[in-house]
Amino acid sequence: MLSVLRQIVQEVNEAQDLTEVLRIIVQRVSATMGVEACSVYLADRGHSHYLLAASVGFLEGVDGKVTIHFSEGLVGLVGEREEPINLDDAPNHPRYRYFPETGEERYQAFLGVPIIHQRKLVGILVVQQRQPRRFDEGEVAFLVTISAQLAGYIVSAQTAGMISDLPSDNIGTILHGIEGAPGIAIGTAVVVLTSDLDAVPDREIEDTAKEIQALDQALDLTRHDIERLKIRLDKKLLPEEQNLFDAYLSILDSPSIKQDIIAIIEEGHWAPWALRKIIKRQVHKFEAMEDLYLRERSADLLDLGRRVLNNLQSENLPIQSYPKDTILVGDEVSASALAEVPHGHLLGVVSAKGSANAHVAILARAIGIPAIMGVTGLPAHKLEGKKIIIDGYNGDVFTSPSKAMIADFYRLAVQEKELYAGLDELRELRAETPDGVRVGLCVNAGLVADIRPALQAGAEGVGLYRTEVPFMIRDRFPGEEEQYLIYRQLLESFAPKYVTVRTLDVGGDKSLPYFPVKEDNPYLGWRGIRITLDHPEIFLVQLRAMLRASAGLQNLRVLFPMISSISEVEESLRLLRQAHREVVDEGFDARFPETGVMIEVPSAVYQAAELIKRVDFLSVGSNDLTQYLLAVDRNNVHVANIYDSLHPAVIHALKLIVDAAHSQNKRVSICGEMAGEPVAVIVLLGLGFDMLSMNAYSIPRVKWIIRNFTIEKAQQLVKEVLGMHYAKEIRAHLEKALESAGLGGLVRAGR
């Protein structure tokens, strides 16, 4: 079965569109299972019916013409139960209903399985046979496996707008991701090029000779690269290991591969796309082979394909043109890809990988454009040049919007602009509730690009400076002097406002290229303070650089990340005192800074009252706190729907933390993403947070909320929310409260 499955997957991967995918599935399944009929129905929610999308064994020409209501027949029953239904004598089942158009009345045996993607029913896969027969366990399992694979194709076809190939045009083309940065944008998709073959978009070309020449050049360059590698490793490799390079070279010299690529170019496609098509086709062929050795060669071929692609792109990269309404789309859009778009041309970002905490999302928020991250099944390469709409409030991407939809979103975009223009006037006003309570509003920063918008936003200071960013963009640990210059620029830019500098917080998803840490479970591994305490030589250099940078300014605060026990705080303070003593002895006028502990893990929540006795303030890292309380990886798109900082458990934890700090008459702030999220802000106000720290772009709207929402109302809301059991219920309740306070425009597009 496994090899049959592999073959089907290979064929399906090469299919042009969903219609072809479905045709392959029904043909292969009926042949493999030895049944006379196989059919796929797609769910059309708009009409509450299933549409027969592909079949074998039915009458000619019925595909796309027959519909079955959600509550009708055995197909409807499979959908209702969401489990396989296996009948040897289907016509005798009370739910049996036959559809004369299909000619299926001749069939007795019926096996139907639901096609489900992330809990959502997207269709039904059915096999039927004339002879009564009860399908055995292996056959049911086979069909379930095929259906699980098929689900992903159906969803990505919907999102690519391919489903309109089918006669029904009512299947949505909305793609859901994670809200990376708020706002809406209507623009043209520009696909970010990477060395990932899967991400190469199709582009039409006119000058085929130029593309073929580029291909020749790239193949030559790759041949040289490999020969160079071979010579370099000559002495270190056994003869059989050297064979690998010869194998690479012989693939490169194979005239058939080159001819196949050229044939695709001659059909009018650019060379990278032609390369992608042929390499993928060959890779799938290898993957489907029985022989393990040959199967593993598919990885070599893929590697070779990437090398050629790299050379093709570096030699022949067309000057990327960015239209005035560019929306960058890619499998993994990087911060540098974003930086390449000319000023004023970038309207938004859509990335298949990454989360709201990815750098590109942080950067998008800093410059005030919407970003949608972690978009499952994003068919990036098919979107090149297409008009798309992105809604950063809901994390939606509309890949084939209708004219009416575009008009609607334009109206919302105009309203949004007006709304934000109005908020600008708040800059000089105080963040104070109508009943007189002041709340500190600070910015989160980590890039030099963050400094200017932070200053412009009218923040009281920096509530979180993520020092790992300068560490990430180097190829070794930055030295004390390098760090000193960065921190000095930062502290000087904000003085006399204070700057909370967090000590190095790497590990988990934040890795340093020159300090690789391989762990099975990195989020529960060596991260944050655990690394720096294990490496006092790195920690002390950083602390000394910060303290020296604060000389004469005295606006430094030091924050320790990922604290999970009291001893970690004590040890960190000991090292800070040592660094301070040294710096003072060297003649720097550096005051001992205020210190804070980040509350990001459950153990710190329960020890908050003890932790605060040792420092000046607590700062809640709600991104990690949510991750650890709910046991949900903050970057994993498969569980992104259950990652919610408004989960009742998180709100109860926040209350414990605030109460612990206040019981010792100390301050407590929050610097996770929820601090800039309008619905969360009213809860944080009511809970009594003294300071909220967020990206610069969120400051005006959070200030607007604070100036329009009384503490009394916020406290009442907290009481109500603490009695609720579901995150959804809490969110809806808070949205309603914002709406009735006239602040609804901040949680959705438009006024």
Catalytic residues: 359, 671
Q: Kindly tell me which of 104 and 600 has the beta carbon lying closer to Mg ion.
A: 600
CA distance to 75, 100, 107, 168, 199, per residue, from 103 (Å): 15, 5, 9, 21, 43
* DSSP reduced 3-state for 223: helix
Q: Which of residues 652-681 bind ligand PEP (CB under 6 A)?
A: 671-672
Compute the least distance from the CB of residue 466 to ligand PEP, in Å. 5
CB 123 within 8 A of CB 42: yes
The least distance separating ligand PEP from the CB of residue 670, rounded to whole angstroms, comes to 8
Least distance to ligand PEP from the beta carbon of 735, Å? 22
DSSP H helices, 526-677, are: 529-534, 536-549, 566-585, 602-606, 608-614, 622-630, 648-663
The answer to whether the beta carbons of residues 736 and 724 sit under 8 Å apart is no
What CA–CA distances, in Å, run from 461 to 158, 367, 417, 486?
Answer: 46, 19, 26, 17
- Residue 672 contacts which entry, ligand PEP, Mg ion, none (Cβ below 5-8 A, type-dependent): ligand PEP
Residue from 622, 635, 669, 698 that binds ligand PEP (CB under 6 A)?
622
Query: Which residues touch 650 (CB under 8 Å, ≥6 apart)?
Result: 622, 625, 626, 629, 630, 644
Q: Which is nearer to ligand PEP, 10 or 467 (CB)?
A: 467
Q: What single letter denotes the amino acid at residue 155?
A: V
- The least distance separating ligand PEP from the CB of residue 464, rounded to whole angstroms, comes to 6
Contact of 254 with 282, CB cutoff 8 Å: no
- Residue 413, classed as helix, strand or coil, is helix
Region near ligand PEP per CB under 6 A, out of 87-95, 224-232, 390-398, 620-628: 620-628
Q: Which is nearer to ligand PEP, 443 or 464 (CB)?
A: 464
In the complex, minimum distance from the CB of residue 674 to Mg ion, in angstroms, rounded to a whole number: 12
Spell out, one character per residue from 576 to 615, where the chain touches Mg ion: x when CB under 5 A holds, - when not: ------------------------x---------------
- Could you tell me the smallest distance in angstroms from the CB atom of residue 505 to Mg ion? 6
Residue 253 identity: D
User: 533: alpha, beta or left, given left = phi > 0 and alpha = psi -120 to 50?
Assistant: alpha
d(CA 679, CA 190): 33
How many residues in the chain?
Answer: 751
Please select the residue that binds ligand PEP; options are 621, 678, 686, 745, rule is CB under 6 A: 621
CA atoms 107, 109, 115, 120: torsion sign:
positive
Instruction: List the one residue from 287, 416, 624, 677 that touches Mg ion (CB under 5 A).
Output: 624
Sign of CA dihedral 274, 280, 286, 289: negative
Near ligand PEP by CB under 6 A: residue from 357, 503, 550, 635: 357
Least separation in angstroms between CB 549 and ligand PEP: 21
Residues 498-527 that bind ligand PEP (CB under 6 A): 505
The answer to whether residue 623 forms part of the interface with ligand PEP (CB under 6 A) is yes
The yes or no reply on residue 673 touching Mg ion (CB under 5 A) is no
Q: Which of 698, 181, 705, 743 is nearest to 442 (CA)?
A: 698
Instruction: Give residues 559-618 in contact with ligand PEP (rule: CB under 6 A).
Output: 600
Pattern of binders to Mg ion over 319-358, x per CB under 5 A? Answer: ----------------------------------------
Q: How far is the CB of 687 from ligand PEP (least distance, A)?
A: 16
- Judged by beta carbon, residue 468 or residue 624, the one nearer Mg ion is 624
671 binds, among Mg ion, ligand PEP, none (CB under 5 to 8 A by kind): ligand PEP
What is the Cα–Cα distance from 24 to 21, expressed in whole angstroms?
5
3-state secondary structure of 25: helix
Q: How far is CA 404 from CA 45, 184, 288, 407, 409, in A?
A: 20, 16, 46, 5, 9
Span of 51-59, 128-136, 394-402, 622-630 interacting with ligand PEP by CB under 6 A: 622-630
Q: Does 645 bind ligand PEP (CB under 6 A)?
A: no
> Per CB under 6 A, which of residues 438..497 are in contact with ligand PEP?
464, 466
Cβ closer to ligand PEP: 193 or 447? 447
3-class SS of residue 601: coil
Is 621 a binder of Mg ion (CB under 5 A)? yes
Cα separation of the two ends of the chain: 56
Q: CB-based burial of residue 92 (10 Å sphere; 0-12 exposed, 13-18 middle, 19+ buried)?
A: exposed
Query: What does 156 bind: ligand PEP, Mg ion, none (CB cut-off 5 to 8 Å by kind)?
Result: none
Residue whose CB is less far from ligand PEP, 139 or 505: 505
Total chain residues near ligand PEP (CB under 6 A): 11
- Contact positions vs ligand PEP (CB under 6 A): 357, 464, 466, 505, 600, 621-624, 671-672
- Contact positions vs Mg ion (CB under 5 A): 600, 621, 624
